[in-house]
Amino acid sequence: MTGPSMVAAARAPSSPFATWTAADIARAVRDGRARAVEVTRAALDDIERCNPLINAFTALTRERAMAEAADVDAVVARGERPGPLAGVPYAVKNLFDIEGIATLAGSRINRDHPPATADASAVRRLRGAGAVLVGALNMDEYAYGFSTENSHYGPTCNPHDLSRIAGGSSGGSAAAAAAGLVPFTLGTDTNGSIRVPASLCGLFGLKPTYGRLSRAGAWPFVGSLDHIGPLARSTADLALAYDAMQGPDATDPVCAQRPVEPASSELGHGIDGLRIAVADGHFARPMADEARAAVHRVAEALGATRRVEVPEAGRGRAAAFVMTAIEGGLLHLPDLKVRPGDFDPLIRDRLLAGALAPAHWLSQAQRVRRYVRDRALSVFEQCDVLIAPCTPLSAPPIGTEWITLEGERMLARPNLGLFTQPVSFLGWPVAAVPVAVAPGTLPIGVQVVAAPWREDLCLRVAAHLERIGVAAAPVATPR
């Protein structure tokens, strides 16, 4: 072993808990077989040693983490219930408010903002479940990208191959979990920003139904399309984190008044009785062999022989593109006026163009959203669950501008979201599921999509695929 691989091995996590799931850790902490402070210290030490290689973290919250862990241990010592995520270290995309530090959202501009005065709702709820926040994670500036090639904080590297992108915009969230530094993380998804990095880093990711989880205290990008959700190395961990964050929240106007509908208890129900189909039409557009093979393998494992078209998915994607550019541009108009030079050059000109766009384009896109919704929902008369490609290819090298898929040359960065964008536009729940690959092969995922509010079905199918060995998210071995 020489060169970069030797460096990589020297920086692999050494914590005995690095390969444990969140469920394993919480069980051990609850049973007194491990102490939260011991798990947390090991995670923090691993992050300090390993992060320079992948550049996933932009901040460590060591003091806070040790205090939260000590609180959990004290609860256990008193014989009380410490919560379903007791002592589990996790980290969040740096657009979530963390009390006491400025919320960067991947930007240089927000460094000048005062520290957040309170935690984001999701962070508060995870703390209530016993989880321990260890840090904040890199992302595309203001979440406007699919690659986490951040010009201010550097690119996040894919833990499976350090020369390649981790995906984005929740790239740090994916890299940190894939590298074994924490068992789960939080990301956000406006057009695919949880699912794209989950696919490229080989993780499970959940983008819930639009309005399911509170976004309060998460820096906005496109309010009409923004979602939050977890990334993890197992379906059970995804469900644990998701369940802990559910529930109405009056401080997010989009958060639905729905009761908590736990998914963790549903994971063992398998796929009996589910009508599962493969998404056709827009979702059969050009893709690389590995993406097609991933869909084929999952479809075969699930006995999904039927192909169904999601009506209007393509025009929905077009409307999402327009809404994103314009709402994003208008959100940042005040800073674009006075300090355009402080924006990441990778997003600046798109934001400026969005801020100048005719009002008609945005109005039409918003009206088309309802039109598309009304037609697309008919697909669930034919099936309960849809299988679709997630990214059109596995992780490209950092700096890739163009890709060619089945002879069609296209811009690489926007087209990483080719298949994810229509699903977030529709607001449907979707799990990114990593297809098990041979060691040394780059990971890739598929999307498991269900009707609004049926996250349980996405997670049931994901858990089934995991159980039968078709899906897996082992800790990455860097090369």
Count of residues in contact with another protein, rule CB under 8 A: 46
Q: Establish whether 93 is a catalytic residue.
A: yes
Binding test (CB under 8 A) with another protein, winner from 17, 142, 210, 242? 210
> Cβ neighbours of residue 10 under 8 Å, at least 6 residues apart?
none
Cα distance between residue 428 and residue 69, in whole Å: 35
Asked if 369 contacts 425 with a C-beta cutoff of 8 angstroms, the reply is: yes
Answer yes or no whether residue 340 interacts with another protein by CB under 8 A.
yes
Binding test (CB under 8 A) with another protein, winner from 9, 367, 399, 441? 367
Per-residue tokens: 161: 């191959």
Q: What are the DSSP calls for 99-155, one per residue?
A: TTB---TT-SGGGGSPPPSS--HHHHHHHHTT-EEEEEE--SGGG--SS-EETTTEE
Bond from prior residue into 15 cis (ω within 30 degrees of 0):
no
From 28-36, 121-129, 274-282, 310-318, span contacting another protein (CB under 8 A) = 310-318
Asked if 203 contacts 174 with a C-beta cutoff of 8 angstroms, the reply is: yes
Cα distance between residue 202 and residue 390, in whole Å: 11
Answer yes or no whether residue 426 interacts with another protein by CB under 8 A.
yes
Of 242-301, binders to another protein (CB under 8 A) are 253-254, 256
Cα distance between residue 114 and residue 100, in whole Å: 9
Answer yes or no whether residue 221 interacts with another protein by CB under 8 A.
no
Alpha helices in 211-253 (DSSP H): 235-245
Q: Residue 299 Cβ, how far from another protein at the closest point, in Å?
A: 25
Per-residue tokens: 75: 């609860």
Pairing between strand 445-450 and 430-434? antiparallel
Cα distance between residue 302 and residue 275, in whole Å: 10
Query: Which one is catalytic: 15, 93, 199, 214?
Result: 93
Query: Which one is catalytic: 15, 121, 147, 169?
Result: 169
Binding test (CB under 8 A) with another protein, winner from 171, 230, 452, 478? 452
Q: Establish whether 169 is a catalytic residue.
A: yes
**C-beta closer to another protein: residue 49 or 361:** 361
**C-beta closer to another protein: residue 10 or 353:** 353
Answer yes or no whether residue 357 interacts with another protein by CB under 8 A.
yes
Asked if 44 contacts 60 with a C-beta cutoff of 8 angstroms, the reply is: yes
Binding test (CB under 8 A) with another protein, winner from 35, 125, 207, 348? 348
Count of C-beta atoms within a 10 Å radius of residue 12: 18
Binding test (CB under 8 A) with another protein, winner from 59, 66, 322, 475? 322
Residue that has been written with the tokens 């390993």 in this structure: 50
Answer yes or no whether residue 333 interacts with another protein by CB under 8 A.
yes
Q: Establish whether 378 is a catalytic residue.
A: no
Answer yes or no whether residue 339 interacts with another protein by CB under 8 A.
no
Answer yes or no whether residue 349 interacts with another protein by CB under 8 A.
yes
Of 427-446, binders to another protein (CB under 8 A) are 427-428
Tell me which amino acid residue 272 is: D
**C-beta closer to another protein: residue 50 or 368:** 368
Binding test (CB under 8 A) with another protein, winner from 47, 319, 416, 476? 319
Q: Residue 190 Cβ, how far from another protein at the closest point, in Å?
A: 13
**C-beta closer to another protein: residue 78 or 360:** 360
**C-beta closer to another protein: residue 151 or 364:** 364
Cα distance between residue 19 and residue 24, in whole Å: 10
**DSSP at 436:** P
Active site residues: 93, 169, 193
The residues that touch another protein, with contacts defined as CB under 8 A, are 209-211, 224, 253-254, 256, 312, 314-315, 318-319, 321-322, 325, 333, 336-337, 340-341, 348-350, 352-357, 361, 363-373, 426-428, 452-453
